């Protein structure tokens, strides 16, 4: 089943009097349950494409459809609301709220969704346990390692119940052990809960574990490959 359709999407940014193209006529389909990486050199358009799919930025041309909702037809407020309930984000810089504990950070998006305090607490504790941080729930980000902060960010993204998780260079700041642990965790969640993951990455470890790798170059799709291995292997 198709979850995301990117249809003829272009994006240009204005620099002074000049428009600089970041994406040029991208067509892409992401099926529900995919575990897919966007790769390519810096400036190829990976993060731009993630931001457009996530509704964080406006397209210059084309349209993006997520689960039959035309995201690019929504005004900013409606798009923000759709994003809140349907899309999870894992950022390279974690983007945790420094004055909140790990538990409160995971609860944060659910509070915005209007869930009850009891449900927020229950789901937050469940996902902190799922990422192996239940015993650190009351620590603030500055008292956590980089790998632990990234796990909190993953728990926050998943606790809100998204259909789609967008992860922008999620392993870039992690050492090898933490990066592999995080990838294994996301693979398990993809397999067990059916959550669709779309990454942007330069990391060979992510490319090796992704089941589909899409290469961008100069704002265009330059090719793709699929890994035909049983889930849970490699």
Pick the more confident residue, 181 or 210: 210
Mean pLDDT of 203-230: 89
Phi, psi torsion values for 46, nearest 5 degrees: -60, -55
pLDDT of residue 233: 43
Position 103 pLDDT exceeds 90: yes
Cα angle vertex 150, ends 127, 133, to 5°? 40
Predicted confidence at residue 234, as pLDDT, reads 43
pLDDT at 49: 97
User: Residue 106's beta-bridge partner residues?
Assistant: none
Whole-number Å distance between alpha carbons of 47 and 159 = 23
Domain residue extents for the chain: 2-226
Percent of the chain with pLDDT over 70: 97
| pLDDT value of position 158 | 92
Could you tell me which CATH number the domain at 2-226 has?
A: 3.40.50.300
Q: What is the pLDDT of residues 130-183, one digit of tens each?
A: 888 999 999 999 999 988 999 999 999 999 999 999 999 988 888 888 888 889
CA gap 157, 94 in Å, rounded: 11
User: Is residue 110's pLDDT more than 90?
Assistant: yes
CA–CA distance, 151 with 155 (Å, rounded to integer) = 6
Burial 50-61 (b: 16+ CB within 10 A, else e): bbbbbbbbebbe
pLDDT for residue 182 = 86
Contact status, residue 150 vs residue 167, Cβ threshold 8 Å? no
What residues does 29 pair with on adjacent strands?
A: 5
Which is nearest to 138 in space by CA: 186, 101, 107?
101
- pLDDT surpasses 80 at 126: yes
Q: What is the pLDDT of residues 75-90, one digit of tens each?
A: 999 999 999 999 999 9
Q: How far apart are CA 184 and CA 231, in angstroms?
A: 11
């Amino acid at each position: 089943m198709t979850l995301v359709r990117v249809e003829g999407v272009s994006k240009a940014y204005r620099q002074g009097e000049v428009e600089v193209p970041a994406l040029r006529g991208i067509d892409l389909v992401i099926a529900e349950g995919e575990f897919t990486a966007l790769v390519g050199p810096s400036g190829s358009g990976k993060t731009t494409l993630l931001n457009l799919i996530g509704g964080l930025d406006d397209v210059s041309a084309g349209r993006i459809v997520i689960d039959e909702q035309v995201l690019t037809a929504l005004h900013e407020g409606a798009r923000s609301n759709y994003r809140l309930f349907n899309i999870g984000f894992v950022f390279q810089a974690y983007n945790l709220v420094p004055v909140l504990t790990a538990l409160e950070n995971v609860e944060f998006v659910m509070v915005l969704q209007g869930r009850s305090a009891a449900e927020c607490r229950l789901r937050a504790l469940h996902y902190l346990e799922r990422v192996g941080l239940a015993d650190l729930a009351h620590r603030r980000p500055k008292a956590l390692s980089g790998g632990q902060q990234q796990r909190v960010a993953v728990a926050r993204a998943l606790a809100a119940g998204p259909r789609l998780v967008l992860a922008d260079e999620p392993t870039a700041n992690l050492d090898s052990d933490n990066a592999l642990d995080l990838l294994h965790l996301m693979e398990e969640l993809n397999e067990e809960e059916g959550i669709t993951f779309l990454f942007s990455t330069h990391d060979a470890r992510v490319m090796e574990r992704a089941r589909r790798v899409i290469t961008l170059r100069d704002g265009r799709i330059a090719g793709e490959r699929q890994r035909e291995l049983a889930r849970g292997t490699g």
